[in-house]
Copies of this chain bind each other. A is one copy, B any other.
Amino acid sequence: MDTSRQNTASQILDKLTNDILQGVYLPNDKLQIKALKDRYNVGTSPLREALSQLIAKDLVVSENQRGFYVSDISINDLTDIYQARAKIEGLCLEIAIQQGDDFWESNIIAASHRLAKYTKSENIDMDEWQNRHFSFHDALVSGCNSPRLFQIRQSLYEKSTRYRNLWLKENVTNSENLQINQNEHVALMVLALERDTKAAQKLIEAHIMTPVEIIKKSLSY
């Protein structure tokens, strides 16, 4: 029965996180204890422990005696998160460019190749494209060896996921946007390899901020 080395609380945390990020539960949805217990087949304790961690991650809010709710989203929050992400990504990239070695360079070239090849292909599976896209950006900053900055970067990326999914729905078929996006990727690689810190930082910040205006429209329908 117990297929994993993890405890129930951790397992339920993963599932809940995923379900919130993927929109199974929408912003402001009530997360009713009993309903969740039934859905995931768990008892009160591990469920509430998972919810406690989600509070610390800002994906859930709670009020005493009034239960748990999925965190709200808003245009203000969208802008703030993306701006913070852009700045942090710029910071990581700056350090990566300062510290990156030959392997860092070659990993960028490799990841860029995989992304470019797939972007040009006929039938694009969005999950696969996302993987390659993610890997490319990971490769760019991987020269920065700061666990804490990476943790912050990862945490902001997670917080942006619900907004990003709105963007993906709008742009999954838009090949023109995809091409603009791809040109930026190539430019980022070149700037990184040239160790042009300032220009690379400026571009990555703009690159990350690109979806914001589109998402804003989705949010205000």
Contact = CB atoms under 8 A, between A and B. Distances in A.
A203 to B, nearest CB: 18
A80 B49 contact: no
A45 interface: yes
Interface string A28-61: 0000000000000000110011101101110000
A64 B152 contact: no
Contacts of A212: none
Interface stretch (A81-89, A114-122, A167-175, A177-185): A81-89
A69 B15 CA distance: 25
B53 A5 contact: no
A91 interface: yes
A80 B146 contact: yes
B56 A152 contact: no
Contacts of A9: 52
A86 B80 CA distance: 21
Contacts of A65: 7
Contacts of A55: 53
Contacts of A7: 64-65
A131 interface: no
A124 interface: no
A160 to B, nearest CB: 10
Most B CB contacts (10 A, CB to CB) among A52, A55, A147 go to A52
A135 to B, nearest CB: 24
Interface string A11-22: 000000000000
Interface string A159-199: 10000000000000000000000000000000000000000
Most B CB contacts (10 A, CB to CB) among A6, A49, A65, A81 go to A49
Given A44-B45, A88-B152, 19 more contacts: A5-B64, A6-B64, A7-B65, A9-B52, A48-B49, A49-B52, A50-B52, A52-B52, A52-B53, A52-B56, A53-B53, A56-B56, A56-B57, A80-B147, A83-B146, A83-B148, A84-B149, A87-B91, A148-B159
5 contacts: A5-B64, A44-B45, A80-B148, A84-B146, A148-B159
